Amino acid sequence: MTRRRELRLPEGEEKARTVRRLFDTISPRYDLVNRVMTFGMDVGWRRRTVRELALPPGSLVFDLACGTGDLCRALAAAGHRAIGFDFSHGMLLAARTTAPLVEADILRLPVRDASADGVTCGFALRNVVSLQELFAELARVVRPGGRISLLETSEPNGRVLRAGHRLYFQRVVPSIGGLLSDRTAYSYLPRSVAYLPTIEGLLGMLRSAGFADARRLPLGRGVAQLFVGTRS
């Protein structure tokens, strides 16, 4: 009985409360832990996320679940106008970016329809309460012809690589998190990958929402992935 409760992942509003609390807790050392546990590869992944938008300089891009502003800084470096949105107050307080930041639920963005040229999101798909609601909101706020570029964790192909990745993600990452930040949070985050649907399912949801050309790009030998698409 106790083990079942420990393994249960929260749903609905309980999930939203859990995610907000965890990110408030880990915000002071979030960037440091990211760099350590990805061996710095996350920096390159974010740059690729911005490049795959394929938007001209000066484009207005909303960065959803912006955290401490890593993607906002990458967007600014590429010449875009970024606005960050996050519902974790702690993350916004710890942010290091000159971009405007808004405390808001990314499922209900306080912006007009078709107001963005593009949207980015880094490592947050598994943390929202409803992917269908998120993708519907992306379709609402991105103008026709605008672009999305969504970065998320993944599992590599190949039995050996996948086994090694699972061992690292499920055992080593919580230890790193425990040493540098909060072990409870970094034990939850690897488990939260279970929220993600299959690749085919996720692409199907994006296409149904209005991104007909949605496709997936593997990164870092498959340990991360990008979902990109154009608003129809």
Kindly list the domain boundaries of the chain, sorted by start residue.
2-230
Name the nearest CA neighbour of 146 among 209, 48, 53: 53
pLDDT one digit per residue (tens) for the chain, 232 residues? 333 344 579 999 999 999 999 999 999 998 999 899 899 999 999 999 999 999 999 999 999 999 999 999 999 999 999 999 999 999 999 999 999 999 999 999 999 999 999 999 999 999 999 999 999 999 999 999 999 999 999 988 878 888 888 888 888 888 988 888 888 889 988 889 999 999 999 999 999 999 999 999 999 989 999 999 999 9
Is residue 23 within 8 Å of residue 202, measured between CB atoms?
Answer: no
**Per-residue pLDDT tens digits for 76-87:** 999 999 999 999
Name the nearest CA neighbour of 124 among 163, 165, 153: 153
- Tell me the pLDDT of the chain averaged across its residues: 93
Question: Rounded to whole angstroms, how far apart are CA atoms 138 and 179?
Answer: 36
Task: Write the CATH number of the domain with boundaries 2-230.
Answer: 3.40.50.150
Tell me the whole-structure pTM to 2 decimals.
0.91
Helices and strands per DSSP (H, E), number in the chain = 11, 7
